[in-house]
Amino acid sequence: MRIGIDAHALGTRAGGNETYVRQLLRAIHTVAPETDLVALVNPNAGKRHVVCREFPIIPLAVRSSWVRVPILLPMAAIRQRLDILHVQYTAPPYCPCPYVVALHDVVWKRFPETLMPVERYRLQLLTPGTLRRARRVFCLTNAIKQEVAEIYRVSPEKIDVVSPAVDPMYRPISDESALTAVRERYRLPQDYILCISTLQPRKNVVRLAQAVARLSEHGLPHRLVLTGRRTFYGPIAEELEKRGLADQIIFTGYLDDADLPALICGAAAFAYVSIYEGFGFPVVEALASGVPVLISTAAALVEVAGDAALKCDPYDVEAMESGLVRLLTDSALRRHCAEAGPQRARRFTFEDMGRAALEGYRKALA
Nearest Cα residue to 317 out of 235, 233, 268, 245: 245
Look at residues 220, 321, 228, 233 and name the one whose alpha carbon lies nearest to residue 273.
321
Q: How many other CB atoms sit within 10 Å of the CB of residue 132?
A: 10
Domain 2-164+349-365 classification at class level: alpha beta
Strand partners, 225: 194, 250
Tens digit of pLDDT per residue, the chain (366 long)? 999 999 988 877 667 788 899 999 999 999 999 999 999 998 766 455 545 567 788 888 887 888 999 999 999 999 999 999 999 999 999 999 999 999 999 999 999 988 888 889 999 999 999 999 999 999 999 999 999 999 999 999 999 999 999 999 999 998 999 999 999 999 999 999 999 988 788 999 999 999 999 999 999 999 999 987 766 556 777 788 888 887 778 988 878 788 999 999 999 999 999 999 999 999 999 999 999 999 999 999 999 999 999 999 999 999 999 999 999 999 999 999 999 999 999 999 999 999 999 999 999 999
d(CA 241, CA 247): 8
Give the HSE-up count for residue 117: Cα atoms under 13 Å, Cβ half-sphere. Answer: 0
Task: Tell me the domain boundaries of the chain.
Answer: 2-164+349-365, 176-345
Question: What local confidence, expressed as pLDDT, does residue 46 receive?
Answer: 47
Half-sphere exposure of 361 (CA within 13 A, CB side): 23
- Please say whether the structural domain 176-345 has been given the CATH code 3.30.230.10: no
Q: Tell me, what DSSP letter sits at residue 300?
A: H
- Strand runs (DSSP E) across 71-204, as ranges? 84-88, 99-102, 136-139, 159-161, 192-196
Query: Do 2-164+349-365 and 176-345 share a fold?
Result: yes
Question: What's residue 51's pLDDT?
Answer: 55
Residues 201, 29: Cα–Cα separation, whole Å:
36
pLDDT at position 110 = 95
pTM for the complete prediction?
A: 0.93
